[in-house]
Amino acid sequence: MQKKLLAVAVAGALISPLAMAQSSVTISGVFKVGIDNYRISNTARVGHNSEVRITDNSSRMIFGITEDMGGGLSGIAQLDARPQLDDAGGNFAESGNTWVGLRSTSMGTVTFGRHDLHYGKQPDDTAALAGALMASSVSLMDHINATPIANATRTPNVIRYDTPNWGGFALTAAYSTATNGAGGATNEADLFSAVRKGNAWNFNPSFTSGPFQVGASVWRSKSDAVIADQDSLSLYGYYRFGAFKVGLGINDSEFEGAAGVTNDRRAWTVPVSWTSGPHHLAGHYSRAGDDKGTAIGDDAAKMIAVAYSYLLSKRTSVGVTYAKINNESNAAYNFFTNTGGLGSTGSTMVAGEDGRLMALTLRHAF
């Protein structure tokens, strides 16, 4: 009898920690909505060329999951849900950065899922706090005319590795088995394709020390089924002195189709910001050069944006934004996210049109 009781006690001691072990779950996110006054000028289209609208600024709810397995190893996962607070749009289930993986304090982190890769590397704080998301320099830096570079959003089907921080040096290396589509039949189109299998990779080293950072990001992608390759290099950095931050970003990108190079352009941006107590002021001047891959010319664009945010509390801020894009006669650059689900009907600029955005935005982080 005593042997049986001892066996039960030993088994209970072994099983109990496993039964009681649970993952910790944290909930965080941002609700951010603006009142926009949006105007398109230099247009030949008939009808109203301006509107007042309510615009969601990529609000999100993030569920972070961690299980400490001991020895510096953790199981991790994240669900990044993106509701659109201005209407019934968005994809609350999984449209953001959503993944599962393992994290080691000494070896780094490996995750599988959907990730932001390559785009948005320039040190631009215009859309931070209550600045309007559409005023971001991504508008010119991560597009060639209307075509986004690295999706200008999450890349699906990603295997990603992030090193630990080694004295300020960090590296992200990622591979996508298929880059086109966010789900469904277009997500993977390798089988029985008459052309080729698609994939993409991203290599992003950076070094941060005290008041400055420098980094580089390399992107190479091939879409499934059709030949539409992207080669892109971004160089970026910033320096802080007192309340000021000054940065520089350069993007050199090339698209290639079945007949060869279709687009080839260089863009650059100079972002600046100032922070003092509850006050935050940021802006940028950006320019996308002529596309050397086309013969038509006059397809450059320039953008200026400035945003002021005031922190009402640690989590709530209100801000005003002004942004303007000037397209040359054959250029069709648009405000970031304005051409997707966060824009409005008819708001996508066509070649030669100019856009102006003024916004009053309220942001609450939790």
User: Confidence class of residue 113 from pLDDT cuts 50, 70 and 90?
Assistant: very high
Q: Cβ distance 362 to 318 under 8 Å?
A: yes
DSSP letter string, 305-353:
EEEEEEESSSSEEEEEEEEEEEE-TT-----TTTTTTTS-TT-S--TT-
CB atoms within 10 A of CB 156: 21
State the pairing for strand pair 24-41/199-209.
unpaired
Is 337 buried (19+), middle (13-18) or exposed (0-12) by CB count in 10 A? Answer: buried
Identify the bridge partners of residue 31 per DSSP, sorted by sequence position: 364
Give the model's pLDDT for residue 47.
95
**Residue ranges per structural domain of the chain:** 26-365
User: Confidence class of residue 23 from pLDDT cuts 50, 70 and 90?
Assistant: confident
Q: State the average pLDDT for the chain.
A: 91
Residues 45-59, mean pLDDT to the nearest whole number: 96
Instruction: Name the residue with tokens 């200008």.
Output: 152
| pLDDT greater than 80 at residue 13 | no
State how far the alpha carbon of 152 is from the alpha carbons of 87, 137, 138, 176, 196, in Å: 22, 12, 8, 15, 23
For 26-365, which CATH class? Answer: mainly beta
pLDDT digits (tens, 9 = 90+) for 329-342: 999 999 999 987 78
Q: Cβ distance 26 to 64 under 8 Å?
A: yes
pLDDT above 90 covers a percentage of the chain that reads: 80
User: Confidence class of residue 95 from pLDDT cuts 50, 70 and 90?
Assistant: confident
Residue 121 Cα to chain centre, angstroms: 9
From CA 208, how far away is CA 166, in angstroms rounded? 10
From CA 248, how far away is CA 213, in angstroms rounded? 11
pLDDT digits (tens, 9 = 90+) for 267-299: 999 999 999 999 999 999 999 999 999 988 999
From CA 232, how far away is CA 219, in angstroms rounded? 5
| pLDDT greater than 60 at residue 5 | no
Residues 180-205, mean pLDDT to the nearest whole number: 74
Q: Find all residues with CB under 8 Å of 191, minimum gap 6, and list them.
A: none
Give the model's pLDDT for residue 3.
43
Q: Cβ distance 218 to 251 under 8 Å?
A: no
State the pairing for strand pair 229-241/90-91.
unpaired
pLDDT digits (tens, 9 = 90+) for 60-80: 999 999 999 999 999 999 999
User: Confidence class of residue 17 from pLDDT cuts 50, 70 and 90?
Assistant: very low
pLDDT digits (tens, 9 = 90+) for 218-252: 999 998 877 889 999 999 999 999 999 999 999 99
Q: Find all residues with CB under 8 Å of 166, minimum gap 6, and list them.
A: none
